[in-house]
Structure 1
Amino acid sequence: MTAIGVDDLQGAGGNWATVGQTSRAGRRVRRQRQKRKGKSVGLRIGTLNVATMTGKGRELADMMERRKVDILCVQETRWKGSKARGIGAGFKLFYYGVDSKRNGVGVALKEEFGRNVLKVKRVSDRVMSLKLEIEGVMLNVVSGYAPQVGCELEEKERFWSELDEVIESIPTGERVVIGADFNGHVGDGNTGDEEVMGRFGVKERNLEGQMVMDFAKRMDMAVVNTYSEKSEEHRVTYKSGGRSTQVDYILCRRGNLKEISDCKVVVGESLARQHRMVVCRMTLMVCKKKRSKIEIEKKTK
C-alpha cells in the first residue's frame, strides 16, 4: 500500500484542516442517518419437527443455545396439555397437545423474550401462536403442523382453515413469522409464483405443496427458505430411507421479506432423526419513541 503524505494532499488541492472537516462531516451524516433509521433488533428464528419432546427438553435448549436460536417453532411434540415449561439453559417452551401419541405444537423462547409474551393462542394440536412485544414492535410467531399426505382431505382443509383464521386475526401492521412442517413439496423453480416464493425449492411440487402456495397467495406471504441459494443438501429439510425432500418452511409477510436474511437448513444435529432445523435471521427496525411533553416537563422539574 502506498503511503499518502502531506504534499500529496496539498497537491490534490486540500490540506489537513479540510480533510479533518470532511471526515467529521461524514461521521455526522452517518450518525444522522442512523438516528433517523432508529436501532435494530436481530433475532434468529427457526422451525423443527422434533418427532417427540419426551426426554428432549434439555437437549433442545442446548441446541438452541449452541446455534444461537432465539425463537423456535416445534411440531409433533406429543405432549398433552396446555402449558409453558422451562426446558433448561434459560429457555421456555409454550406448547399445546391433546394426545401424547400424536401431533402437538409449541414455541420455544429465550428467557428474555419469554417475558415479552403478551398473548398465547392455542387453536388446536396443529396450530398455535404467540404475540410478543420487542422494543415496541409486535411480533406474532405461529407454529403449524399440517396433516400428512395420507390423511383425509377434510382434516387437511380443517388445518388450513385454522391457519387462515389465525393470520386473518393479526393486524396488518404487525410482523408475522410462521414456522411449520407443512408435509408438502413446493418444488424447484417459481414460474407463475414469483410473488410468494423464490427459485430454490426441492424437486417437484405435489398437491400438499400447492396448498402451501395457495395459502401464501391468500395471505400475501412469502416462503422464506425458497429464496436462499444453497446447494440441494442445504435445502433439504427431511431425509429418511433414501428420500430427501423439503417439507419444513418459514413464512413471513411479503412486505417484511426484506427484514429476513440468511435462511438455511442446519445440518449435523441429532435431536431429530429425520427432520432438520431451518433457521433465518430477522432484523426488526425499531423506531425511536418520541417523548411526550409531560415526560419532558417532569425531567426538567
Structure 2
Amino acid sequence: MDRNHILLASENARASPVCDAHRQPLDGVRNMQRVPSAQRRRLKKRVGEWRCATWNIGTMNGRSREIAETLKQRKVKILCVQEVRWRGGGVIEIGEGYKLYYSGNRTGRNGVGIILDEELKQRVVEVQRPSDRLMTIKVLAGKSLVNIVSGYTQQIGCEDQEEEEFREQLEQSVREIPEEEEIILGADLNCNVGETAGGYEACHGGFGYGLRNEEGEKMLETLESLELVLVNTGFKNRDEHITTYRSGDSSSQMDFLVVRKRTRKNVRDAKVIPGEAVAYQYRLLVMDVTFSTKRKRETTGKKLQKIKRTNGKNYQKWKVRYSKPAGGVSHPQEDEDEQVSRHIGGGGRNVGCLGE
C-alpha cells in the first residue's frame, strides 16, 4: 500500500466505540445538551445539595484546625458540635474558611456550637443561644430559611428534672420556628431509640441500633409531637456506619440528625464516617440533603394581562372578591387592573386560580 492510500485510510478512520472520543466529561459541565438524559437528571438533583453533620468532639481546645481540615476533606458545609467546653458565647474563624459559632457557660463545661463553611457564613440571618446545651442559627438558602440547631442532652444517669428541662427547651425552640422554614437538628441526645420503630414510625425509620431505653422513649414522644424525623434511622447500613459512639467492646447510637417530616424525601444519604481521629470515642455523622435555591418570581403586569385573556371568569371573581378590602373601605381611585395586581402581589397565595 502506497503513502496516499495510507493517508486516505487514516482520514476515514473512525474512533473505537469505547475510546475517549465518545465520552463526554461530566465535571464542570455548564451546558448539559450533550449529557445523556439519565445523567442530566442526576446532575440536576445534586444542585443545592448540602452535606450536614453532627459530632461530639469532646473539646475544641487544640482541635480547631484539625476539625476544619476534616470538614474540608469530607466536603461538609454545616457541622453541629457538642462538648465545645469554652466559656461564654462567641464567634471564631477556625481555618479553611470555616467559622465557629459557640454557646457555653461560666464553668467551661458542656457547650455546643455550629460550624459553617465560607459560603453559608455569609448568609447568617440570626443567632440564638438559649443555653449551653442548645443554640440555633438561621441561614438563607435561596427562597428558604433554614434553622440549624445544635443540641446536647444530659448524660444517662443525670436527674430527670434536667432531662425534662432540655426536652421542654427543645420543644419551645422548635415551635417558635415558623412552619414554612426548614430545620436541621444535629444533637447528641444521650439516649437509645432502639433498632426498630416499635410504634414510632412517624419519627423512627426502622434502622436503628440497640435496645430502646426510657430516655429514648421520651425523646421519641417529643420528636413525634414536633413532626420531626430521625434521619439516620431511615437508611439500612452496616453497624460501623450506624453506631456513633464506641468505647472498647461497647457501642451505641446516641448522635442523630433530625429534619422536618416533609424534608425527609430530600435526604439522599445519612451514615457514620469511621476512622476520623479527632474524637476517639465519638464518630462523625453526615447526611446529604437538598434545598431549593431558586427564588419565587413576582407576578408582573404582563402576567396579569395573560391571566385576563386566558381566564376571564376567574378575573371577574377577583374583581368581586377584592374590589372591597377587609373593613369595607373601597378604593375608587384605583382602576380594576391596579386592584387585582395589588392583591395578587400581596395575598395571591390564597387565590386558587394562580395554581399555587
What TM-score do the two structures reach when normalised by structure 2?
A: 0.71
- 2:224 pairs with one of 199, 217, 220: 217
Quote the Cα distance in structure 2 between the aligned partners of 1:162 and 1:251.
16
Distance change >3 Å, CA 195–CA 211, structure 1 → 2: same
For 1:66, the equivalent position in structure 2 comes to 73
1:232 matches 2:239: yes
Structure (1/2) with the larger strand percentage: 1
Aligned with 2:277 (options 253, 270, 277) = 270
Q: Which moved more, 1:38-47 or 1:201-210?
A: 38-47
**In structure 1, what is the Cα distance between the partners aligned to 2:296 and 2:180?**
17
SS state at 1:285 partner: coil
**What's the offset of the Cα at 1:156?**
0.6
Determine helix, strand or coil for the equivalent of 2:120: helix
SS in 2 for 1:115: helix
Distance 2:59 2:45 in 1: 41
Q: Give yes or no for the alignment of 1:107 onto 2:125.
A: no
Query: Out of 177, 180, 195, which is 1:170 matched to?
Result: 177
Aligned twin of 1:117: 124
The CA deviation at 1:291 is: 5.0
Distance 1:215 1:258 in 2: 21
- Deviation readout 1:211-252 (Å, 9 max, x if unpaired): 220111110011000001001121000001321010000011
3-state SS of paired residue (2:119): helix
Q: What amino acid is aligned across from residue 197 of structure 2 in structure 1? A: N
Residue aligning to 2:291: 284
Q: CA deviation at 1:192?
A: 1.1
Q: Which residue of 1 aligns with 2:202?
A: 195
1:78 aligns with 2:85: yes
User: Alignment length, in residue pairs?
Assistant: 264
How far is 1:293 from its partner?
4.4
CA distance in 2, matches of 1:250, 1:143: 10
**Is the partner of 1:119 in helix, strand or coil?**
strand
Tell which has more relative contact order, 1 or 2 (C-alpha 8 A, sep 6+).
Answer: 1
In structure 2, the residue corresponding to 1:53 is in which secondary structure? Answer: coil
Measure, in 1, the Cα distance between the counterparts of 2:156 and 2:285.
21
CA distance in 1, matches of 2:62, 2:107: 13
| CA–CA distance in structure 1, aligned partners of residues 299 and 220 of structure 2 | 45
Q: Quote the Cα distance in structure 1 between the aligned partners of 2:200 and 2:233.
A: 11
**Counterpart residue identity of residue 160, structure 1:** R
Partner SS, residue 86 of structure 1: strand
> Which ranges of structure 1 fall in alignment gaps of 5 or more residues?
1-25, 297-301
Within the candidate set 89, 95, 103, 1:88 is matched to 95
Q: CA deviation at 1:101?
A: 4.0
Deviation at 1:194, TM superposition (A): 1.1
Deviation at 1:288, TM superposition (A): 4.3
> Contact between 2:143 and 2:292, CA under 8 Å: does it hold in 1?
no
Displacement of 1:286 after TM fit? 3.1
CA deviation after TM superposition for structure 1 residue 285, in Å: 2.0
CA contact (8 A) 1:118 1:133 kept: yes
Q: Tell me the secondary structure at the aligned position of residue 48 of structure 2.
A: strand
- AA of the residue aligned to 2:174: I
Greater Cα radius of gyration, structure 1 or 2: 2
Q: Could you report, residue by residue, the CA deviation over 1:70-112 in whole angstroms, capped at 9, with x for unpaired residues?
A: 0000000001121110000100000010045421000000021
The one-letter code of the counterpart of 2:260 is: R
How far apart, in 2, do the equivalents of 1:39 and 1:229 lie? 22
Q: What SS does the aligned partner of 2:216 have?
A: helix
Matches of 1:259 and 1:108, distance apart in 2: 22
Structure 2 residue 140 is the aligned partner of structure 1 residue 140: no
Which residues in structure 2 correspond to 1:13-24 (within 5 Å)?
none
1:166 partner amino acid:
S
Cα deviation code 1:241-270 (max 9, x no counterpart): 321010000011011101112101010000
Secondary structure at 1:194's aligned position in 2? Answer: coil
Instruction: Provide, for residues 142-167 of structure 1, a one-character-per-residue CA deviation record: whole Å limited to 9, x for no partner.
Output: 00000001111111111111111110
Give me the TM-score of the superposition, normalised by structure 1: 0.83
Q: In 2 relative to 1, CA 104–55 (structure 1 residues): closer, same or farther, beyond 3 Å?
A: same
Q: Secondary structure at 2:268's aligned position in 1? A: strand
- What CA distance in whole angstroms lies between the structure 2 residues aligned with 1:122 and 1:59? 25
TM-align CA RMSD: 2.2
Q: Is the contact made by 1:39 and 1:287 (CA closer than 8 Å) also made in structure 2?
A: no
